[in-house]
Structure 1
Amino acid sequence: METQNFASQSGNGTHATAAIMAADSPILELKGLEKQYFGTHALKPTDLAFKAGEIHAIVGENGAGKSTLIKLLTGVIPRTGGDVYWRGEPVALGTPIEAIKHGINAVHQEVVLCPHLSVAANIFLGEEHLRFGLLRHRNMVRDAQKILDDLGFDLPAHATLSDLTIGQQQLIATARAATRGARFLIFDEPTAYLTRKEGMQLFALIRRMQANGVTIVYISHRMEEVFELADRVSVLRDGTLVGTRDIADTNENELIAMMINRSIEQIYHKDSFEFGKSILETRNLSGKGFENISLTVREGEIVGLYGLIGAGRSEFVTTVFGRHPKSSGSILWKGEEVDIRREKDAIKLGIALAPESRRDQGLCLSLPVSLNLNLPVYPKLSRGGIISKSKESAQADRQIADLRIKTSTRSASAASLSGGNQQKIVIGKWLNHGAKLFIFDEPTVGVDVGTKAEIYRLFSALLSQGAGIILISSYLPEVYELADKLHVFRRGEMVASHQFKSASHEDILTKALGSAPANPILSGES
């Protein structure tokens, strides 16, 4: 997958300010808005105004209150106190239907559509085309295709949603929101799963909507996108609005300091360790989506895999993990050839996989935090088939404390936590297992800079204990700064390998693209 700096490719950086000039008064204003959960202040009394036609970024760590703010504005949860004014008039926003009627809508980081239905059915969900009580699906497909074409989204309206990539599903969710008469549209980490092309399409649409007077609230952990798109930016920390700045009057260092009280230099954390024995070796390993991959991971080493969407990185590691069969080649574990046919085989050896999609593949969202953390180790917590509740609680509490997982209780559902804290659970359950090789597939997608720093320090802790790490990331600066050896994938093949920082960003991206990049900033290079 490829997630890059799309903003620089979507325009020349000038903001469509005509709509703002025409209506400088707030379209939505919050006065003392707050939310409490059983004594926990998720959002402390907040005063904030959004101007008509502006792009207003919201930044902050996971758990800072961003998700709570979204839920309050879209009517998903009731507020504890304060007032909300829409075009100067007080509104309750007590239900999602009321919010939608006012023109307030959201495109969430995790797609909340119906995967078993067609793209067209999802776009017109709740507003289906009927005749004499019968669904006119062919007409819906035709009209949906016109909507997608008009928006510049090269997507098939007749396809089943689950057949599309996560990024493409995100664009469908955007199309659905954009066609429902939205006047106030919230984007929550919209580019986390998008390719460069998809991101450029999204940014072009956002600018178009802004020019038409739509207010955009843009929530992102990618600072380059915030500075390229936004007119103003507000910072949340621990449920408190720290401040609002005009984008022209601030910089990345100031915003990060406001968010986490640390400088940007402290984010990427890498300790050097002496490499030990080989943990994993693949020799000409081939499978669905990749072929002839040979690499080695040693104790104390981070091996990075970089490439664009469909390059074969995820397919390679899921085959190593036993999720998909190999077609040829061999896998060696601590020098001995092994046959990994099932995930159970990999787990038994000591291989752990934190998958790309934590919600779909890494968590049981409706179940408690403690159960998710302990899933791989329940045999160790049981005797005679009976789970020891004291051991279960102690194990979960230790991981919650060590990983600084923000949860009201170990019994809270995983779905109730922020994205960054959910990712900590995915990682934490494998720490309990005591694995020797950790595969992290996009471990920092949708998490804030503070949580990223914690995850990077966790990498160092694992390496210090003699573990090895395979790190897959579509954000080139991440693998560039952390990987001791970086392998570049393209179209299912390994096309280049580099020692730590032995090649430039541009060289690496050129190999991944198969040609010289049109703009090196796509690699995240500043």
Structure 2
Amino acid sequence: MPHPGEGLHLADVSKRFGATRALVDAHLDVGPGEVHTLLGENGSGKSTLVKIIGGVHRPDDGTFTLDGSPVSLQSPRHGTRHGIAVVFQEVLTAASQSVLQNIWLGSDGVFRRTRSAAVQRRIAAETLRRLVDGIDLDAPAGQLSLSDRQAICIARALVREPRVLVLDESTAALDVRTRDRLFEELRRRAADGVSILFISHRMDEVQEISDRATVLRSGRTVSTMAREDITVERLVADMTGVSGEFDSRDRERAFGDVALTARGVRLSAEAAALDFTLRAGELVGVAGLEGHGQDAFLKRLAGITTGEGVVTSASTPEIDVKLDNGAELGIAYLPRERRGESLFEPMSIVENFALPTMAQDRRGVLLDRSRMTSRFDEVVKTMSIRLGAPSDPISSLSGGSQQKVMLARWLATAPNVLLLNDPTRGVDIMTKREIYMTLEKLCAEGMSVVMLSSEVDELIELVDRVLVFRDNEVFAEIPRRRLSTEAVVAAYFGQQIGEAA
């Protein structure tokens, strides 16, 4: 158990935003050499606490000490000077700048002595190499995969040699191999005395990496537990105030007619062509290490990209799915990155929901906002979206509620086929459950779903079969009866486990 005078210590911390009490007498201790996980539902106060630690916000009440000395951070740069580095869930890279420039971005004035270009290059290469192989330091960051860009953000924090490292959902964008190497690096840094605060909604990660864990609920600290006491059941109960887990449906279920087919689709010039058939009521998972073709496959099904082969829906088998006709053919696609690909942040919550279906709200040439709001009110009830007013900006919502709005946006188009690109990335466990139940209901009603997921446990819980991609080809198709963590992860790395499909 760390001594409160060492490492990071927050006591009786409160923070209010208008009428909203984001934190109420919260406390947190992260000792030197400790990996301490912070958990809670979206809206529990985690992000506010992290922003106080990083110098973005200042607490209204409470104490904040670092290695026994009180601190009052005025800005993120002030936090950096105190040896605090924060990596956020959102992948923050400058697309046009090189990998090297991105790693040292914002470091001017951080180090007492200016490092030479050669030294900066050597440190950047050594740090990045611990996380991922084969990245050219001179390549523009925008050309890299999402996982590699997040590795750059983590390397940016690590080159500063922080004494407090905060990872706020930073693993959500990482592939399995990079995540595992990051965990090795975190253990190495902890052994050197660094205090590490780790935030994740992935229970397998929490159980693997944590020395201790603290749970927030409604802005209050409800528990802190040692590694040996960390169980999924206790974490869920503490986060939600209720016990029990998501009840998975029966593993065997009959499907309807063919809803979508892909024939002769080639994801790269060197890859073999693949065929795929999706049936009504089926939920198919797609997975693989980052950059191995699963994302490209989903976008090809959605018509976002084109190439060799044909993708057709059952309603119009003579028409190839393209970017401009997917909605007409009954296909909806939910992108992976909310901020960059889905959200229109200057617009309201209800406007973000209604964008693709706004024609339903027109009376002649005029827009009937009351009809739009009425449609959205039904969605709020059905999907349990927590919000203030529909007219509030979309940025006022938690990540989980934003994702529900994005899902509702495309469900409002009444698709036959729903394509989801990592839909639960970065959302809390209760929101995940609610999304799972929504997908179960949709499939029971006959909708077909293809879902890319970076969480193996999620695939095992939900889907009827998993396509594991490797080198832009389907390496393994694993039916539900053989789904296991071992089978999926082995396929990531080119190994088959168990009987043939």
- Pairwise same-fold verdict (TM > 0.5): yes
Offset of residue 259 of structure 1: 1.3
Matches within 5 A, 1:331-346: 331-334=312-315, 336-342=317-323, 344-346=324-326
Q: Which residue of 1 aligns with 2:229?
A: 249
1:327 pairs with 308, 320, 330, which one? 308
Contact kept, 8 Å, 1:121 with 1:140, in 2: the verdict is no
- Tell whether the 8 Å contact from 2:422 to 2:452 is kept in structure 1 after alignment: yes
Tell me, in whole angstroms, the C-alpha distance in 2 between the residues paired with 1:242 and 1:42.
14
Q: Deviations over 1:235-290 (max 9, x none)?
A: 11222211111122342221121112444532645697652222212223334476
Match in the other structure for 1:480: 460
Classify 1:78/1:508 alpha carbon distance in 2 versus 1 (closer, same or farther; 3 Å). closer
Among 469, 475, 484, which residue is 1:489 paired with? 469
1:172 and 2:152 correspond? yes
| 2:66 is equivalent to residue 61 of structure 1 | no
Which one-letter code corresponds to 2:357 in the other structure?
A: V
Match of 2:389 in 1: 409
Structure 2 residue aligned with 1:3: none
8 A Cα contact 1:288 1:315, kept in partner: no
Aligned to 2:33, the other structure's residue is in SS state coil
- SS across alignment from 2:308: strand
Cross-structure match for 1:297: 278
What does residue 8 of structure 1 align with? Answer: none
Cross-structure match for 1:47: 27
1:456 maps to which of 424, 432, 436 = 436
Percent identity over paired residues = 33
- Of residues 120, 136, 154 in structure 2, which corresponds to 1:156? 136
1:282 match: 262
Residue matched to 1:314: 295
State the AA in 2 paired with 1:317. L
Deviation at 1:147, TM superposition (A): 4.4
| Aligned position for 2:361 | 381
> Would the alpha carbon gap of residues 270 and 357 (structure 1) be closer, same or farther in structure 2, given more than 3 Å must change?
farther
Distance in 2, Cα, partners of 1:126 & 1:297: 47
Write the deviation string for residues 196-251 of structure 1: whole angstroms up to 9, x where unpaired: 33123211221222122211001111222222222211011222211111122342
Q: Which residue of structure 2 lines up, in the alignment, with residue 391 of structure 1? A: 371
Change (3 A) 1:445 1:269: farther
Secondary structure at the aligned position of 2:457 is classed as helix
Call closer, same or farther: CA 1:414–1:153 in 2, change over 3 Å. farther
Say whether the 8 Å CA contact 2:55–2:76 is kept in structure 1. Answer: yes
C-alpha distance in 2, partners of 1:181/1:317?
39
What SS does the corresponding residue of 1:266 show, helix, strand or coil?
coil
Q: Which has the higher contact order (CA 8 A, sep 6+)?
A: 1
**Aligned match of 2:211:** 231
Q: Tell me how far apart the structure 2 counterparts of residues 298 and 152 of structure 1 sit (CA, whole Å).
A: 38
Larger displacement relative to structure 2 (117-126 or 306-315): 306-315
Q: Which segment drifts farther, 52-61 or 453-462?
A: 52-61
Aligned partners of 1:44 and 1:240 also within 8 Å: yes
Is the CA contact (8 Å cut-off) linking 1:270 and 1:460 kept in structure 2?
A: no
> Which string of whole-angstrom CA distances, capped at 9 and with x for unpartnered residues, describes residues 290-329 of structure 1?
6533222222221222333333222122112121113123
Work out whether 1:123 is the aligned partner of 2:103.
yes
CA 1:393–1:485: 2 relative to 1, 3 Å: same
Tell me the residue number matched to 2:327: 347
C-alpha distance in structure 2 between counterparts of 1:46 and 1:494, whole Å: 48
Q: TM-score, normalised by structure 2?
A: 0.89
SS of 2:77's equivalent in the other structure is helix
C-alpha distance in structure 2 between counterparts of 1:515 and 1:334, whole Å: 38
Other structure's SS at 1:439 match:
strand
Under a length normalisation based on structure 1, what TM-score does the superposition of the two structures give? 0.85
1:178-197 aligned within 5 A: 178-197=158-177
Following superposition, the deviation at residue 173 of structure 1 comes to 1.3
Q: Aligned match of 2:10 in 30, 34, 41?
A: 30
Distance 1:122 1:350 in 2: 41
Cα shift at 1:122:
1.6
Q: Is the 8 A contact 1:53 1:214 kept in 2?
A: yes
Q: Which residue of 1 aligns with 2:450?
A: 470
236-245 vs 508-517, greater mean Cα deviation: 508-517
Cα distance per residue 1:471-524 (max 9 Å; x no partner): 22233332233222333333222344344324555445444432258xx9xxxx
User: Which of 341, 350, 355 is matched with 1:370 structurally?
Assistant: 350
Name the CA distance, whole Å, in 1 between partners of 2:445 and 2:167. 40
**Residue 83, structure 1, aligned to residue 60, structure 2:** no
Residue 112 of structure 2 is matched in structure 1 by none
Distance in 1 between the 2:246 and 2:78 partners? 43
**Cα distance in structure 2, aligned partners of 1:389 and 1:120:** 48
User: Partners in 2 of 1:52 and 1:504 — Cα distance?
Assistant: 36
Q: Is the 8 A contact 1:74 1:104 kept in 2?
A: yes
Gaps (5+ residues) in structure 1? 1-19, 130-134, 521-526
Choose from 81, 93, 97 the match for 1:113. 93
Of 152-161 and 218-227, the range deviating more from structure 2: 152-161
On the 8 A contact 1:486/1:499 being kept in 2, the answer is yes
Secondary structure at 1:43's aligned position in 2?
A: strand
Cα distance in 2 for partners of 1:511, 1:45 equals: 47
- How far apart, CA to CA, are the structure 2 residues paired with 1:306 and 1:404? 28
1:208 paired with 2:188, answer: yes
Residue by residue over 1:425-451, the C-alpha shift from the partner in whole angstroms, topping out at 9 and shown as x without a partner, is 221111222212111121222222211
Change in CA separation of 1:88 and 1:512 when aligned onto 2, cut-off 3 Å: closer
Question: 1 CA distance for matches of 2:401 and 2:103?
Answer: 31
Does the CA contact (< 8 Å) of 1:287 and 1:328 recur in 2? no
CA distance in 1, matches of 2:128, 2:488: 33
| 1:315 partner amino acid | A
Q: Name structure 2 gaps, 5 residues minimum.
A: 110-114
Amino acid at match of 2:78: E
* Aligned-partner Cα distance in 2 for 1:152–1:332: 39
Query: Aligned pair in 2 of structure 1 residues 183, 417: CA closer, same or farther (>3 Å)?
Result: farther
Please state whether the residue corresponding to 1:120 is helix, strand or coil: helix
Measure, in 2, the Cα distance between the counterparts of 1:150 and 1:278.
46
Residues 1:283 and 1:366: Cα distance change in structure 2 (over 3 Å): same
CA contact 1:28–1:50 (8 Å) conserved in 2: yes
Is 2:264–2:308's contact at 8 Å kept on the other side of the alignment? no
Change (3 A) 1:174 1:412: same
Q: Distance in 1 between matches of 2:311 and 2:128?
A: 45
Which amino acid counterpart does residue 313 of structure 1 have in structure 2? Q
